[in-house]
Amino acid sequence: MRSLAGPLRDDGSRLHDITGLIGTTVSGAFLHLIAAINLVALAGIWKVFRRMRSGRYDEAALEEQQNKRGFMNCRSWTRSTARS
């Protein structure tokens, strides 16, 4: 562990450059993933909005669509939050 401390402190070291690149890449990939999930959610909202404007959704169907709650609503998540 001590052998890594010196190269990490030195801003010009190869290890510092590589770890900086890896960190930036992981952060960028995470942000792109979140953006993709948001685009899917936006597409779903837009679809519901268009159906509401055309009168194809009644109140019960709209309530059912809202209760789906998207990507983050998996069964294990719902069970764990329902208990608290």
pTM of the model: 0.60
CA separation for the pair 49, 55 (Å, rounded): 10
Q: Do 7 and 13 contact (CB within 8 A), yes or no?
A: yes
**Structure token pair of residue 79:** 């069970």
Q: What is the pLDDT of residue 76?
A: 53
> Which residues fall within 8 angstroms of residue 57, CB to CB, at 6 or more apart?
48, 51, 65
Q: At what angle do helices 14-54 and 59-68 cross, to 10 degrees?
A: 170
Number of domain units in the chain: 1
Mean pLDDT by runs of 10 across the 84 residues of the chain is: 68 84 96 92 82 79 70 56 52
Q: What is the pLDDT of residue 42?
A: 84
Q: Residues in the chain, how many? A: 84
Q: What is the pLDDT of residue 70?
A: 61
Q: What range defines the domain where residue 75 resides?
A: 2-83
Q: What is the pLDDT of residue 77?
A: 54
